[in-house]
Structure 1
Amino acid sequence: MRNRILTAVLSLALCGLAAPAGAQRTDAQTSDFADARSFPYKNGEQLYHAICQGCHMPDGKGATGAGTYPALAANPNLEAGAYPIHMIVNGQKAMPSFHYLSDEQVVAVVNYVRTHFGNDYKDPVTVEDVKGMRQ
C-alpha cells in the first residue's frame, strides 16, 4: 500500500514536470501577462511551443488521456481563419482564453498553425481580423 501511494505521488509530481512552462495556464495563472507587451514571445513558432504544444503536442497531433486535446495537424476547421482566432481569444470548453496575447501575437500563432502540421492555408489572418473578434 505504501509503495502504491508513493508511486501515485511521484506520478503526479512528474506530470507537473512533463508539461512545458505555460502549457495550460488559466486566466488566473496568466494575470502576470495582463499586459501583452510583457509576454516574451512574438513569433508564431515560439508562441506555439510556449503555450500550445503542452496540450496539442509538439507535432500538433493532439492527445487523449486525462482529457481530449484536438489535433491541429491537417485540421480542416482551421480553413476559416476566424475559427482559431475565436478559440485563442475567447476559449471554449476546456480550451482556456489567451486574451492577454496582443493582436499581433494571435496573428502570429494562428498563421503558424494554419501553415504547419500538414495545414496549407495560404490566406493569412490579419490584426484587423483579431480586432474584429475581440469586439
Structure 2
Amino acid sequence: MNRITSFAAAAAVAALAAFPVFGQSSDSTGFGDASKIQARDGAGIYAAICRGCHMPQAVGAVGAGNYPALAKNEKLEGGAYPVFMVVNGQRAMPPLGSYLDDEQVAAVVNYIRTNLGNNYTDAVTVKDVQAARP
C-alpha cells in the first residue's frame, strides 16, 4: 500500500470513530466500535463518511490525495462503478464494504446518483452490491 492510500485509509477509519452515527462500545482504546455505521439513509451515510473527502457539495478536493467530484459525475451513470468503489475502494478511496452492509451501500450509492447534481434514476439494488463483494 502506498503512502497516500495508507494515509487515506487511516484517515477514513479515524473519521469513522469520530462520528456519533457509528456504533460505540466501551473498549479501552477510547475510540469505540467503528466497525459498523448506524446511519441507514443515503444522505446520512454521505454526511458521515463521504463528505470529509468529497466535500459537502461533492465538488471533490486535492490534498493528501485526489478526491474526485461526485457532483455531475458521468462515471456514476452505471451503478456498478460506484458500488464497486464503495465496497472495494481503489487508490486513495478506502474500501468501505466492511463498514456498510448491502442496504447501506445501495442507499449511499443511490443518494449520490440521484442528488448532488446527478440524475441517474435506475436504482442500485442489494443484489448489485452483493455481486460487487469479493
Category of TM-score, reference length = shorter chain: 0.7 to 0.9
1:42 paired residue number: 40
1:132 paired residue number: 131
Instruction: State the secondary structure of the residue aligned to 2:49.
Output: helix
How many equivalent residue pairs? 109
TM-score, normalised relative to structure 2? 0.74
Runs of 4+ aligned residues of structure 1 deviating over 4 Å after TM superposition are none
C-alpha displacement of 1:91: 0.4
Deviations along 1:24-64, one digit per CA (max 9) or x if unpaired, are 227xx799344x4xx21100000000000000000000011
Give the 5 Å matches for 1:1-135. Answer: 24-25=12-13, 32-34=33-35, 36=36, 39-100=37-98, 101-135=100-134
RMSD of aligned Cα (Å): 2.2
C-alpha displacement of 1:99: 1.2
Higher share of residues assigned helix: 1
TM-score, normalised relative to structure 1? 0.74
CA distance in 1, matches of 2:34, 2:79: 25
* Bigger Cα Rg: 1
Matched residue type, 2:101: S
Instruction: State the secondary structure of the residue aligned to 1:52.
Output: helix
CA distance in 2, matches of 1:42, 1:62: 23
Instruction: State the secondary structure of the residue aligned to 1:25.
Output: helix
Identity of aligned residues (%): 55
Name structure 1 gaps, 5 residues minimum: 1-22
